[in-house]
A and B are shown apart, each in its own frame.
Chain A
Amino acid sequence: MAIVVDDSRAVRMILSRTLRELGYQVGEAGNGREALEAIGQFAPVDLVMADWNMPEMDGLELLKRIRESPAYRAIPVIMVTTENETDQMSAALAAGANEYVMKPFTKEILIDKLRLAGLPS
């Protein structure tokens, strides 16, 4: 089970489709707060792919909450960032993200990133 977190429905659709093609079941959330709810609802969750910049609760805050939660801290998180935001990448990794991937990305890149994070691809 993977949770795709992005404030754009179109982006969620694209990511969900790709993850489904790779054999994941996918749940969606529009921001960090919704994502936390979804994780509770769908647990156990194998992967969270979270956008950085979202209303209400952004991806970094979501990541921190997941890492602080005794129940969810082990869930692999891949952060989605925008091109050339190297600071975001470093911050994401420092905050405990398993991987990051830059928008826009191809299916092949996502597969590589999943592999790097040690996830089925």
Chain B
Amino acid sequence: MTEQDIIREFLIESTENLNRLDQEIVQLEQRPNDKELLASVFRTFHTIKGTCGFLGFGILERVTHHAENILSRLRSGDLRLSPPLVALILQSLDAARKMLAAIESTGTEGTDEFADLVQRLESAATAAVTEAAAAPPDSSPVEAEKASAAADTAIRVDVGLLDKLMNLVGELVLARNQVLQFTTQKEDGALNATSQRLNLITTELQENVMKTRMQPIGVVWNKLPRLVRDVSHACGKQVRLELDGSGTELDKTIIQAIRDPLTHLVRNCCDHGIETPEERARIGKTPQGVVSLRAYHEGGQVNIEISDDGAGIDAERVKQKAIEKGLCTPEQAGRLSEREALNLIFVPGFSLAQKVTNVSGRGVGMDVVKSNIEKIGGLVDVVSRVAEGTTVKLKIPLTLAIIPGLVITSSTERFVIPQVSLLELIRLDGASAGKIEHVHGTPVYRRRGTLLPVAYLNGILGLQPPAASEAVNIVVLQAEDRQFGLVVDGINDTQEIVVKPLGKQLKGLTIYAGATIMGDGRVALILDALGIGQRSGVLAEHRDEERAESQKKAHSTAEKQRLLLFRAGSFERLAVPLSLVSRLEEFPQSVIERAGGSPVVQYRGGILALLSLAKVLEPDAPDDAMDRDPAQVIVFQDGERSLGLVVDQINDIVEDAVTVRRQSGRHGLLGSAVVGKHVADFLDLHTVLGTAGGDWFAGAAGGARRGTVLLAEPAAFARGLLHSELQMAGYQVIEAAGAAEAISRLEQGGIDVVIVAEDLPRAGSQEVLDAVRRRPGSERIPLLALASGPVQGRPAGSEPFDDCQSKFDREAMLRSLERLAAALEHENPVVAAARSEK
């Protein structure tokens, strides 16, 4: 059986079918409600279409597909058979015949794409809905008997029409508000009664129109069984899906908005939550896991819970991961409650998956889930118990179009704050009015023992503050887990407001969420809590910056570093602390000589070896830095040794606090950090100079001029920088990433000074201290602690360590080291003698 045989069979079969269709369509015109006939016509198109797909006849497939669409709508009653429709279907038949003839003679469908026909078929199918709404199909008595009661009372209505209705009701609500306000000023009994009636009817109408836009959440859920099945198959798991409350209704726009987040969450349950059948059997669970979804109304909102009975999330692991990813510092992690730690999974860039699967684990998703839910005014929370399972709870508003809001005034303007972002109102008058304090220049209010950052709406909007205010009104707002106070001039009342989107020109203003029309017919802008918070600086503008901000505070790199910025190879922004650089030089090509195959220059009475940095960083890439005239050289010097690092261009010297972004796996780089407003890659001098020649640090290895330092620092980036600094200062450095490693290195002996970072995880610095002090022979080794914060103000002698310096104050650290080493020599000649023997 060849392809030819199949195509011949297809041609015969299709021609038979088309001939029969001719008759059937004509009959259909006479008996438009004959369901059997309609089904048969539909099926014939369907069959041709399905076969075309296999044989690759795309045009024929397209034409029959669109014809089938129309028939499908005829069957469902969305569309009434009309003479133009019959004509259109018959034209499709003719087109199909032409293509079949072409296939028979040439083997292809021909070049005519029947684009015009397809387009007319398409528009006929989409026109279906509105037409049906305008004129519901009259049904024959026989059919009416068959049709279910539900079908009789339901009609399809275009969503556009519902949107328009909703809009009109919104307008009506506004007009009602205006009328009510107007009547309160009049003493007219009849007018009052009428407006009360108008009030009631409007409210009822609003409720009912809102109901027409409601859809059961099952609309989204019915796609989930297949998803769960496919995902669990793909992961080799057994998962049962339980749905409870699929009749719970939500506004259509909200249904659409939660579709993707829900899908993602369920996917996550199957992929990460539920264990493999083997694993489940091992820990005594049934091999089949359960993912259950529950939806219910509560307090004018809809709660949706997505639970699994899987492995649960280990809060400690989440913290660890967050620290690894640089999303928080160990101290910050230590302060988090279990619940706060679990919510870290919603931070951008976080993923707990051990490996990236094709289902999930790319670290995008949970943050998108959260931001999508928050965009529609919802809340996300997660609770989890290890080995028992995880539940994600969503709180979703019923509708977005009409929301309760608080009307406030600032200067002479009125604004509305959506009730969902509102936490509480605080009024300070009399003696308490002055209770707003300033911490580091930021106004704060001491609320029940915690500091609440405060912003002034007048200041944010550039409005005139009122002449004299006897009281201060603070509206406490919530935006993305953060709370802040907004000082406003007056608080009016709460109202149901109709949200109108802002025009194109104003869309970019993040401090406004929309506009509404007030009872007196004037427009008021709706404030966006998040936007206000960001604008005022109470909330950092971007999460990344927020993180950088908090890290800055934690590390307090207020001790700014001077950095040399330069370019080499494909690295546009490389940085090295200027303190490590000896000189910057330009050497004309004419003075560059070769010695032993390597480029050198005569420099200050000696010979300076030159090394191209690009060669170290990208050994395989072409490199022309060496050929530049003059060559740009950074000179590093350590005692008698020196090396010239050739780069493409020296860009700048900046003074800035360094905030580590991420660590690098690349040979010769420590990692990247934000310098100024841009990211720069930090050079790992230790490695780079090491590649220059085996003897660069040979002196240090052979006999330390200044002694051997054990450096215990958890962050590889800081460790690398400190290593370079110490090395350049003449110390031999032994690195340790944690307390255990440090202690085991200590046991091996030969350590003169221990430098230990205070933020070594789990009281590690204390452990190291104890180990040094207890071990016989090492109890006198001086310990220098490095604080991530500033050390000014710490009372001298209060430290258990011999000294404490800031991690980023290189000079102070080196001075302290020298002092400690000297004191040691002076005090303990045995140690000093032992060291000089080496």
Report which A residues bind B (CB closer than 8 A).
7-11, 13-14, 16-17, 51, 53-55, 82-83, 86-87, 89-90, 93-94, 103-104, 116
Identify 12 new A-B residue pairs, CB closer than 8 A, beyond the known A11-B54, A90-B226. A8-B10, A8-B47, A8-B48, A10-B6, A10-B13, A10-B51, A10-B54, A13-B1, A51-B50, A90-B222, A94-B225, A103-B53
For residue B705, CB closer than 8 A to chain A, the reply is: no
CA distance A15 to B821 in the complex (A): 85
Of residues A10, A13, A14, A82, which shows the largest number of chain B Cβ atoms within 10 Å of its Cβ?
Answer: A10
Q: Is B225 touching A11 in the complex (CB atoms < 8 A)? A: no
Interface membership of chain B positions 37-62, coded 1 if the CB is closer than 8 angstroms to chain A and 0 otherwise: 00010010011111101110000000
Give 7 closest A-B pairs by Cβ, nearest first.
A104-B53, A10-B10, A104-B54, A8-B47, A10-B9, A103-B50, A10-B51
Q: Count residues on chain B whose CB falls below 8 Å from chain A CBs.
A: 24
Q: A7-B47, A104-B50 are in contact. Are A14 and B6 (CB under 8 A)?
A: yes
Q: Is B223 an interface residue (CB 8 A)?
A: yes
Minimum distance in angstroms from B656 CB to a CB of chain A: 54
CB-CB under 8 A from A103, the residues of chain B are 50, 53-54
CB distance from A25 to the nearest CB of B (A): 15
B810 lies within 8 A of chain A by Cβ: no
User: Which one of B7, B51, B222 lies within 8 Å of A11 (CB-CB)?
Assistant: B51
B40–A55 CB distance below 8 A: yes
Query: Is B5 part of the contact surface with A, judged by Cβ < 8 Å?
Result: yes
Cβ-closest chain A residue relative to B52: A104
Find residues 1-53 in chain B having any chain A CB closer than 8 Å to their own CB.
1, 5-7, 9-10, 13, 40, 43, 46-51, 53
Contact of B229 among A13, A14, A93 (CB under 8 A): A93
> Across the interface, which residues of A come within 8 angstroms of B222, CB to CB?
87, 90
Residues of chain A contacted by B1 (CB below 8 angstroms): 13, 16-17
Nearest Cβ on chain B to A62's Cβ, whole angstroms: 15
Q: Hey, which chain A residues are within 8 Å of B641, CB to CB?
A: none
Query: Interface SS of chain A: helix, strand, loop or mixed?
Result: helix
Does B50 contact A11, Cβ atoms closer than 8 Å? yes
Tell me the smallest distance from the CB of B34 to a CB of chain A, in Å. Answer: 15
The residue in chain A whose Cβ has the minimal distance to the Cβ of B225 is A90
Most buried by A among B9, B43, B54, B55: B54
Contacts of A116 in B (CB 8 A): 233
Q: Which A residues are CB-close (under 8 A) to B43?
A: 7, 53-55
* Cβ-defined contact, B13 with A89, below 8 A: no
Provide the bound-state CA to CA distance between A111 and B495, in Å: 62
Q: Is the CB of A8 within 8 A of B225?
A: no
Return chain B residues, CB-CB under 8 Å to A94: 225
A82 engages B46 (CB within 8 Å): yes
Residues on the A chain within 8 Å of B5, using CB: 13
Query: When chains A and B are docked, how far (Å) is the Cα of A11 from the Cα of B53?
Result: 10
Is the CB–CB distance between A89 and B54 below 8 Å? no
The answer to whether B225 touches A9 (Cβ under 8 A) is no
The verdict on A86 contacting B223 (CB below 8 Å), with A10-B9, A13-B5 known, is yes
